[in-house]
Structure 1
């Protein structure tokens, strides 16, 4: 099994509940074990005029191939009412494969490590809750270096239930 990190985000239809439902669905994926989930964080949308996002990261161990996992994640998004009307629009649920073991993946449908990982505090800080301190990405960057270059600005760690 390979360790995979999934970014979760929502800014519509009770975002925290959307994330809790998504975590439950991740735990039901075949040939996959849910290892952990970070705290939930709130952040402003990257685009003005949208509601704030609630984000988290989940760690999975899986035997699924990257594209099979991507298909399963998109099915979970669809089951939770995701509409793909615009690339950066508001959404009930967004599930992104951030890291897939130590793989570099450059497919038309999937880029791993996630292509904007280094710019997103709302992904890096929840990831740091789950990943080993010395995590090195397949492209050679370390999580420690990414965190140092991406300050904890605009994030609010939500209290746990």
Structure 2
């Protein structure tokens, strides 16, 4: 959805600039992509991108920065997967598996019917659904194709290749 800054792509570019202003360094970004909303029917289609960066704090600190930037653009966390002007997700932090391998595995193996009903009460990294989502992996492949998932052992490029072609085709460069 548009924000006070403008259209979704303008909002996203502005958010990238705010990341740098908040202490992120070496920020690189993929192209911007049009993608179907997730879950289907949750609102208008999205603009997605991926960014790689260096940050001096821990993953929780970076997540707080991301949430602060979302709030700066008018994001209110009212409904999970509800319509929003900006959604900045922390997908991975190097080789970190958070909060621990056992908890991560539980979220990774969560049955499909429970995935929409439950939300973790803490940061889970890498994102336990990243390997299933073309809207995450296709942009991520532009900035970190050789990053290797610390649990699954696959690179981003390998995870993209494993997605159905139909899912990859839904991620369209703007």
TM-score after normalising by structure 1: 0.84
Could you tell me whether the CA contact under 8 Å between 1:38 and 1:127 is conserved in 2?
Answer: yes
| Other-structure match for 2:82 | 89
Number of aligned residue pairs: 146
More strand by share: 1
User: Hey, what's the Cα distance between the residues in 1 that align with 2:122 and 2:2?
Assistant: 25
1:141: Cα distance to partner? 2.6
1:142: Cα distance to partner? 2.2
Could you tell me whether the CA contact under 8 Å between 2:60 and 2:123 is conserved in 1?
Answer: yes
More helix by share: 2
User: Hey, what's the Cα distance between the residues in 2 that align with 1:58 and 1:15?
Assistant: 16
Structure 1, unaligned runs of 5 or more: 1-10
TM-score after normalising by structure 2: 0.78
Could you tell me whether the CA contact under 8 Å between 1:34 and 1:60 is conserved in 2?
Answer: yes
| Other-structure match for 2:27 | 35
User: Hey, what's the Cα distance between the residues in 2 that align with 1:117 and 1:49?
Assistant: 19
When structure 1 is superposed on structure 2, of 133-142 and 70-79 the one drifting more is 133-142
Could you tell me whether the CA contact under 8 Å between 1:12 and 1:90 is conserved in 2?
Answer: no
Bigger-Rg structure (1/2): 2
Picking from 124, 127, 130, the partner of 1:111 is: 124
